Amino acid sequence: MIRSKLYLILFAVLLLFSNLIFASESLIIQGSSTVLPIVQKAAEVYMEKNPDVNISVRGGGSGTGIAALLDNVIDIANSSRFIKDEEVQSALSKGIYPVPHRIAIDGIAVVIHPDNPVDDLSMEEIKKIYTGEITNWKEVGGPDRQIVVISRDSSSGTFEVFEEIVLEGEKVTAGALLQTSNGGVINVVTSTKGAIGYVGLGYLSPALKAVKVNGVSPSKETIISGQFPIARPLFIFTNGWPEGITADFINFILSAEGQKIAEEQGYVPLF
């Protein structure tokens, strides 16, 4: 009886100190599912090099990540959009000073079903399709088929960037099908002949046809050069200027090796 209790206590103590024994320092990261693949992979490589550091990375969305940073429960928040005014106000009132770090660029490709003969759309045409002014492919040089507009739900970071760059603040037609993820958009576009959608550059595949926008096809080169119009920077936020292990990890992501990881995950590196 006493012995088993002793074991139990020993076990509990071990559990308490396991962090100290196996990893002396830890980082908790949370936020955008767009930024997740880069940070996740970077964390794995970083931990291999620094076995005494423990990094845990979670998704959940940009808003969730920033909210967690504001509550001071994480070290780094991933975000596919810049922090909003109301979030900054809320942060300051809590004594948190969010600092943005640009870590990569994400291009947003406009995709259609591979059987659709249309291969070039102007920004104006895309805007009209998404606001519901153009509803048939024949109006943009395609077959006589109804356009099925696929969008991301209005709180996704990808949507916000698309809305800002392409729609310039106008409303997406209420008839648009809202999907909750890049994967969801791909799913509907590949199975629907009349569909149009938009996904991060990392999600392009032969099952989708990426249209040229204003005559420029989406690629790493055209995004870095600024020719491809629908691109956005990806951020991570820290509370105050990063120090110690946080700074070291961010430097790693911004190093040539870290940027190569971002590129391997399908994003566009900063340099």
Partner 1 sequence: MINWRAKEKIVQIILLLFAFSSIVFLTGIIIVLFKEGLPIFQKVGLIEFIFGKEWYPTYYPPEFGILPLLAGSLLVTVGAMLVAIPIGIFSAIFIAFILPERLKNVVKPVVELLGAIPSVIYGLFGMKILAPFLQDVFGLPIGLTALTAAIILGIMALPTIVSLAEDALSAVPSSYRDASLALGGTRWETISRVILPTATSGIITAIILGIGRVIGDTMTVLMVAGGAAVIPESFLVPVRPMTASIAAEMGETPVGSAHYHALFGIAIVLFLITLLFNIIADLAQESFKKKVTGR
Our CB check for partner 1 shows the closer of 102 and 171 to be 171
How many whole angstroms from its chain centre is CA 173? 24
Is residue 197 within the footprint of partner 1 (CB under 8 A)? no
In Å, what is the CA distance from 167 to each residue of 50, 64, 128, 160? 45, 25, 8, 10
Is residue 37 within the footprint of partner 1 (CB under 8 A)? no
Listed ranges 36-44, 80-88, 204-212, 246-254: which one lies at the site for partner 1 (CB under 8 A): 80-88
CB neighbours (10 Å) of residue 129?
23
Is residue 60 within the footprint of partner 1 (CB under 8 A)? yes
Listed ranges 82-90, 200-208, 228-236, 259-267: which one lies at the site for partner 1 (CB under 8 A): 82-90
Q: How far apart are CA 4 and CA 228, in angstroms?
A: 67
Our CB check for partner 1 shows the closer of 48 and 115 to be 115
β-bridge partners, 76: 29, 238
- Count of alpha carbons within 13 angstroms of residue 207, beta-carbon side: 11
| Closest approach of partner 1 to the CB of residue 82, in Å | 12
| Closest approach of partner 1 to the CB of residue 116, in Å | 13
Listed ranges 36-44, 143-151, 231-239, 252-260: which one lies at the site for partner 1 (CB under 8 A): 143-151
Our CB check for partner 1 shows the closer of 234 and 245 to be 234
Is residue 1 within the footprint of partner 1 (CB under 8 A)? no
- DSSP per-residue codes, 143-211: -S-B-EEEEE-TTSHHHHHHIIIIITTPPPPTTPEEESSHHHHHHHHHH-TTEEEEEEGGG--TTSEEP
Candidates 75, 106, 125, 160: give the one binding partner 1 (CB under 8 A): 160
Segment 169 to 188, residues that bind partner 1, using CB under 8 A: 169, 171, 174-180, 187-188
How many whole angstroms from its chain centre is CA 89? 24
Is residue 129 within the footprint of partner 1 (CB under 8 A)? no
CB neighbours (10 Å) of residue 192?
15
Binding stretches for partner 1 (CB under 8 A): 60-64, 66-67, 84, 86-87, 90, 145-146, 148, 153-157, 159-160, 163, 169, 171, 174-180, 187-188, 191-192, 194-195
